[in-house]
């Protein structure tokens, strides 16, 4: 009887691990080239966020944000960084965004910002799955 109880506990523990592995959530940056960033969401929970940098915008360029989300919504914010950064002067992670976009499935938005280097702050507004692309392209 004791052996059957031990076996049952092991089977329950393994089942729990398998269920946990199947429900893995992910929200992060899968590409960052300086002119292009790709956000990947896989069952990302609401209010999960991250910050990453740096997106470089030159004169005559614009930001294009396009969504390939199959579910949910994501907020993309661009926050300016100081021209010269050092360990003594870190970017203000709570600084005001110069560009904000809330995107859902198959949406695209664009905007112009002053030339400079920007941090990306991304927040999952609703449980999300899919990708969002942020690109720096010539202004049209």
pLDDT of residue 21: 47
Fold of 25-138: Jelly Rolls (2.60.120)
Supply the mean pLDDT for the chain: 82
pLDDT of residue 49: 92
Residue 9 reports pLDDT greater than 80? no
Beta bridge partners of residue 75, listed in sequence order = 102, 123
For the chain, the straight-line distance linking the first and the last C-alpha, in angstroms and rounded, comes to: 76
76-85, 87-96, 124-133 — most confident range: 124-133
pLDDT of residue 11: 57
């Amino acid at each position: 009887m004791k052996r059957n109880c031990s076996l049952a506990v092991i089977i329950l523990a393994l089942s729990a691990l398998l269920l946990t592995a199947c429900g893995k959530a992910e929200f992060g940056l899968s590409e960052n080239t300086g002119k292009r960033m790709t956000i990947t969401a896989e069952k990302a929970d609401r209010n999960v966020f991250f910050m990453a940098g740096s997106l470089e915008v030159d004169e005559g360029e614009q930001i294009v944000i396009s969504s390939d989300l199959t579910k949910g919504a994501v907020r993309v914010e661009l926050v300016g960084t100081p021209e010269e950064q050092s360990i003594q002067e870190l970017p203000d992670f709570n600084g005001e965004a110069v560009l904000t976009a809330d995107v859902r499935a198959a949406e695209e938005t664009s905007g112009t910002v002053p030339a400079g280097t920007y941090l990306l702050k991304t927040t999952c507004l609703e449980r999300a799955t899919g990708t969002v692309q942020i690109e720096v392209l010539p202004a049209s």
